[in-house]
Amino acid sequence: MYYVTKRLEISASHSLKLNYSSKCKTLHGHNWIITVHCKSEKLDQHGMVTDFTHIKRAIFESLDHKNLDDILPFNSTAENLAKWLCDQIFNCYRVEVQESEGNMAIYESS
């Protein structure tokens, strides 16, 4: 099996809708470090799984320096963001979204 992983950083703002007290309900921002994992049993005609540049473009153009609440049609948790990205990127099966030094959410397709 061939794999590629692309790691990049976006800056954005968001807030969470929660029915309990949390500072995350206030509009705030992060530098999210996003790691995209793609895999394929066979390489394409160029000898690639997924072009790194195409992954970068898909994430940056939609999310960097934006307000995630305006873009995502659901509560903008790191878990939801990970799945949303995974669904959009060719050959992607796992996305890690690191929201801060200690907090990471991961979506992995079955």
Can residue 80 be called a binding residue for its own copies (CB under 8 A)? yes
Return the structure tokens found at 64. Answer: 């960097």
Among 13, 16, 67, 91, binds its own copies (CB under 8 A): 16
Nearest of 108, 106, 91 to residue 2 by alpha carbon: 91
How near is the Cβ of 61 to its own copies at its closest, in Å?
16
Binding test (CB under 8 A) with its own copies, winner from 17, 28, 57, 65: 17
Residues 6+ apart with CB under 8 A from 46: none
Residue 5 burial class via C-beta count within 10 angstroms: exposed 0-12, middle 13-18, buried 19 and up: middle
Which residue ranges make up the site for its own copies (CB under 8 A)?
1-8, 16-19, 22, 24, 43, 45-49, 51-53, 56, 74-80, 82-83, 99, 101-108, 110
